[in-house]
Structure formats: structure tokens, C-alpha cells
A and B are shown apart, each in its own frame.
Chain A
Amino acid sequence: MEEQACPRCKTTKYRNPSLKLMVNVCGHTLCESCVDMLFLKGSGACPECMVPLRRNNFREQLFEDPMVEKEVDIRRRILRDYNKREEDFASLEEYNDYLEEIEDIIYNLCNNIEVIETNKRIEAYKRDNREVIQRNKTRVGRDEYALEELLEIERAQEESRKKELDELETEHKKKKARDKQALIEELMYSGKDAAQIVSEFAEKAEKQREEEKQLPPPKAATEFSTGIKFGQSADPTLLPVPKSEEGPLFNYEPYLPYTEGPMAPHAIDIETMGYIHHIRTETPQENAGGFTSTLACQRALEEALQCLYFTPTAGLGVGL
């Protein structure tokens, strides 16, 4: 295997064990000290391909082959925008075509084939699919969130199991001590045969051990102490609709205005008889709220005619 070396200063891993190779978007390596020296100003050209580079785009080389490093970098960048999923396509065929296109683009960029055209293609894709890209980005966030939740649940389960085990252990120890004490007391005070007592106790202990084995496995924690469920195990559907007892059916009675005055014209008459021409038309805002000029006109007319027949009668008003 070829020794890792900085192509500029020719330092190798052998000579300098703390050698750190860095790589930038162009895929050419440089050691850390060369980067420090060449990119003192923050930006500069790659000494091999003369591509302008920025210093803060340098990162540590993870793969031995700098070309792999470059491809990983490009792939990451491309996949950030090409983030469609299988659900976004009508058929598997289309999805496969799409995946192939991605691979083509990555390959082109890695090997400097038709870079300009490829970049144009990416730009066009970004423009056409801006909404989908944005949506999928947030979806990725949601997926991560769900994953985190899952981990959280697992952790909680683990904890509760551990706690239960601890409890069992202490309980067990206590019991053992108690049994021992009982055995000693029995041996001391009872008149029975010592060997018989010992075997009796051993039998009892055996039985108990078997019982313990049948204890149910610890239950997973899926709810808060308040009883509210969390995580994906929570019921995703809404609460069941409570069944209401059916009361007596509603009986429609036509509205009979009690006016104590002449009858106001009907809503239809307001327009046909020309009342409507003497009131301003409603603004779009008022109309949005459901208020029409007909309504306002009718109300004014109704209020004008209500209680015109009113005659005061003694003892009508009471004040309070």
C-alpha cells in the first residue's frame, strides 16, 4: 500500500505520525501545515488544479483515496437537493430513472465531464422542483424526530427494566436472609429431625425460584405518569366520537315575527320594490362577513315598523 503523503511538501505518515491530510471540493489533498501556509488569507487556488478554494471548506480526509472523498462530498451536496422519495413518483420505473440521473450527475461532476452542462441541469432541476425539495427537507426533519422519539422510548424501557431488576434483586436478597433466619430458628427451637427440616426448606426455596421465573416481562413505558401516552405507540387516531343519546326530533316552526306594528316587506320585496336603491351597497369586507345591503335595509325597515301600535298601559314599566 502506498504511503499517505502530502503532494506538496511530501511529508509522509511515517515521518510525521501526526500528519493530517485535508481535502477540499476539488478532491486534491494537502497536509494541515500546507493548508495553513497556502490559505493564510482565507482563500486561494489549489496548487494542483488551480481551482479557487476557500480555506474553511477544507475538511479532514476520511478515505484514503481523495477521489472517494470528493465523490462523498459531491454526493452529499447533490442529495441535499435531489431529495425526492419513491412516494413522489407515479411508478417504480420513474423512480429508477430519477436515481440513475442522480448517479449520472455525480459521476459527471466527479470526473469533470460536462461540468457546466451538469451544473445547468442541477440549477434547472432546483428551479422546477423548489417546492418538493423544501417539503422533503422538512420531512427529513420529521423522520429524524420520530427516530429520536423511538430511541427515547427504548431508553425509558431499558431504565424501567433495570429498575425492576434491581428491585427484584434486593427483594430476593431480603427473602433469602429471612429464609435463612427462619431455618436457623426452626433448627434451634423445633423438636423435628434436623435433616428433615433442611430438606423441607430447600424444597420450598426451589419452588419459589420456579415461581419467580414465571414473572411477566417488564412492561414498556409508553405513557407519562399522568397517563398521557407519548411516542409512536400513542394512538394516532382521534378520540372515539362519543355516541350521543338521541333526543326528541327538532320540530321546525316557522318564525312569526311579533312586531306590534305593520308588517315589514319581505326580503324579496326589498329588491323588487326598490327599497334597496335607497341604501348604500355593502363593501366587499361586509359581504365577506355575510352582511348584505338587503339585510341592513330589512332591519332598518323592521325596526321602523316595530311597536308603532304601542299604546302605554298602566303598570307596564317596573324599572327594576
Chain B
Amino acid sequence: MYPLSSQRRSWTFANEEQLRVFRVEQNTKYIEEHEAEAPSTGNLNDFFLTPEEERLLLKQYEIYLVDFCRRFEPPMPKCVIGTAFHYFKRFYLNNTPMDYHPKEILATCVFVACKVEEFNVSINQFVNNIKGDRNKATDIVLSNELLLIGQLNYYLTVHNPFRPIEGFLIDIKTRSKMINPDRLRPHIDSFIDSIFFTDACMLHTPSQIGLASILHAASKEQENLDSYVTDLLFVSAPERLRGLIEAVRKIRMLVKNYEPPDREAVKAIEKKLDKCRNQNNNPDSELYKERLRRLYTDEDDMPAEDASFHIANVSSDTSAMNISQ
């Protein structure tokens, strides 16, 4: 039930401005906290990412997210991708990529989405889709999983527009005179794909997004579904029609105005990020290893001089375990 869901209650926002305020707030908070790390000379903006740069970076990673999901083996259903996108966007509404690197959060989002959408893959199967050190990837995904779920405030149910689209198609086939509505599908799919790169899913309801994609596909096919909307859908509440037209217009504008990020610019941002990111959360940094080591020793109440316990040992242990499995 979307009308009573947490998605509608807590994760649907009034306008883009509201989203922007959230993101800028996170950015300034991080800069304030980590001001000391910046070189004393020069502008803070030269060291830290600006909110605009963060957006650009995240846009690039959203593209990576789709690529990763498309190439995922076994092939994953669409709703997993949709849910992963929701998680990714929600996470970076309350966090900055300087704090948590998007590449790590991306994999974690997809992993949690697989679980929530009941697309059953084990962690081993999952990391097989990741290039590079798989043991490290396993460690990262599993250690970030709880963080992500916590940051989502444990609201894991996501309503994707896929089912509403099916519902509209059934309705159109039943009640309107349109010939072969199934030919809309390719256009719908491509529209939905590009919708995920926008913030539409945090501004509009899944049914509105679904209807917008159907109307968009109809216009591509030189069909007119206006009479379906006015005479069949909104016949009982014509006064509501204006709101819907506005919403559909906004969604189509969002998609139309979307620009893929410039690769070169993103590369520069990534270089910048390597310096200004929170080293506490960087699995390659000494600080992170030190923190983790302390965490482990605290838990097991081990004497402090037992310094032989290293992260490297941990991952080699797990690899040994993987082999025996």
C-alpha cells in the first residue's frame, strides 16, 4: 500500500529545492568537521568537494550502478535496480560522498536491494560480479550493510513504478480503444531507465511516474492517450487533473533536462576526493585499519601488545574459509 508507506511519508519530498538543501547541509557539515585536515593556505573549496561536484560524482556513480546491475550474473530483475537506486539516492541525502565513498555504497545498495527484493544471491555469488579483490569487496559490502540500513532508517520497502505500469497497461487494454498497447513497452523501458538518473522517484509517486512514462511512450508512438486520462481515469475527480498534468510535466522535464556528467570533470573530482575523503572510512587507509583493529581487540578483550592481529590476516583467513567451502 503506497499511500500508507514509509516511502510516501518520509521519502517523498516537495520539490528539488528541498533535496538540494539537504545535500548542501551535509556538505557544509562535513567541511566544518574536517576543516583542520585542509591545508592552511588556499581556499577550502579547492580541497573539499563543492555540492555541485558531489552531484556530478554521484551522477557518474549512478551510471556505474546501472552498468553493474546490467552485467550482473545471474541477470537481476528490474525492481532490484529500482530499489538499489532508491537506496543510493536516499543514502546520499543524509550523507556526503566525502564521508562514504560512492563506490562502496553502490555495491552495498545493490546487495541490500537483492535481499529486499527477494532476488536470492549469496555474498560469494555477489562479489563474483565485482572486479578486483573479492575478499576485500566482501569485507566492505558486509561491513557497510548495517550502516546503509541504519542510514535508511530501516525503511527498506520500496515501491517501484513497474507494477503501476503493468496496471495501466491492463487498464488501457481493457477500457481504451488503443490498438496493441504493448508496442509502447520499449519506449516505457527507456523512459524508466532515464528516470532513475533523476530525482523523480523522491518527488513523485510511483503511479505518477508510471503514467508519465506511458504518456511519454504514447507520444513517441504518435498515439494520444489524453482521452483515456480525462474520460476514464479522472472522470470522477476532474478537479484533480491539473495536479496530475503538472506532475507528469515535471517528470518529463526532469528526464529531458538530465545531462550525463562529463567524464573528465568526474576524474578530476575523484582525484580531489581521494585527498579529502574521510580517512576513517577508507578501507585502504592506515587510520581505518587501526580503527578496525581496535574494534576487534576491544571486542575480544585482547591485550594491547598483541599487535600481530592485522586486517590482512583477517582477509586471508576468510579466503581460506572460502576455499574450504
Contacts and interface: CB of A to CB of B under 8 A. Distances in A.
Given A305-B207, A310-B247, A262 B15 contact: no
Interface in A246-280: 257-263, 273-275, 277-279
Given A306-B2, A307-B208, A320 B153 contact: yes
A8 B315 CA distance: 81
Nearest to A273: B174
Contacts of B2: 303, 306-307
Interface stretch (A99-107, A222-230, A281-289, A294-302): A294-302
Interface residues of A, number: 36
A17 interface: no
B19 to A, nearest CB: 9
Given A273-B174, A278-B169, A306 B3 contact: yes
A303 B243 CA distance: 18
B203 interface: yes
A216 interface: no
Given A275-B171, A278-B173, A312-B14, A262 B205 contact: no
A306 B170 contact: no
Contacts of B175: 273
B164 interface: yes
A309 interface: yes
B13 interface: yes
B207 A303 contact: yes
Interface string B1-23: 11110001011111100100010
Interface of B is mostly: helix
B12 to A, nearest CB: 5
Contacts of A313: 14
A318 interface: yes
A258 B3 contact: yes
Given A303-B2, A317-B18, A262 B233 contact: yes
Given A263-B236, A299-B163, A316-B13, A308 B174 contact: no
A301 B170 contact: yes
A307 B159 CA distance: 12
A317 B240 CA distance: 21
A307 B167 CA distance: 14
A261 B153 CA distance: 28
Contacts of B244: 308-309
Nearest to B233: A262
A311 to B, nearest CB: 4
Interface in B220-269: 233-234, 236-237, 240, 243-244, 246-247
B10 A308 contact: no
Given A300-B164, A316-B12, A317-B12, A259 B3 contact: yes
B303 to A, nearest CB: 40
A309 B1 contact: no
Interface centre among A259, A301, A307, A313 (most CB of B within 10 A): A307
Main secondary structure of the interface of A (DSSP, over half): loop
A49 to B, nearest CB: 65
B158 interface: no
Given A258-B4, A278-B173, A300-B170, A318 B10 contact: yes
A259 to B, nearest CB: 6
A49 B134 CA distance: 80
A278 B233 contact: no
B247 A300 contact: no
B94 A308 contact: no
Contacts of A257: 1
A306 B207 contact: yes
Contacts of B166: 300, 304
A185 B204 CA distance: 104
Contact of B13 (A262, A304, A307, A317): A317
B49 interface: no
A300 B233 CA distance: 15
Given A275-B171, A317-B13, 11 more contacts: A258-B3, A299-B163, A303-B2, A303-B159, A306-B2, A308-B244, A309-B237, A309-B240, A311-B243, A317-B10, A318-B10
Closest 10 CB pairs of A and B: A304-B167, A317-B13, A300-B167, A307-B205, A311-B243, A304-B164, A278-B173, A309-B240, A312-B14, A301-B167
13 contacts: A262-B233, A275-B171, A304-B165, A304-B211, A307-B2, A307-B8, A308-B208, A308-B233, A309-B237, A309-B244, A312-B12, A319-B90, A319-B93
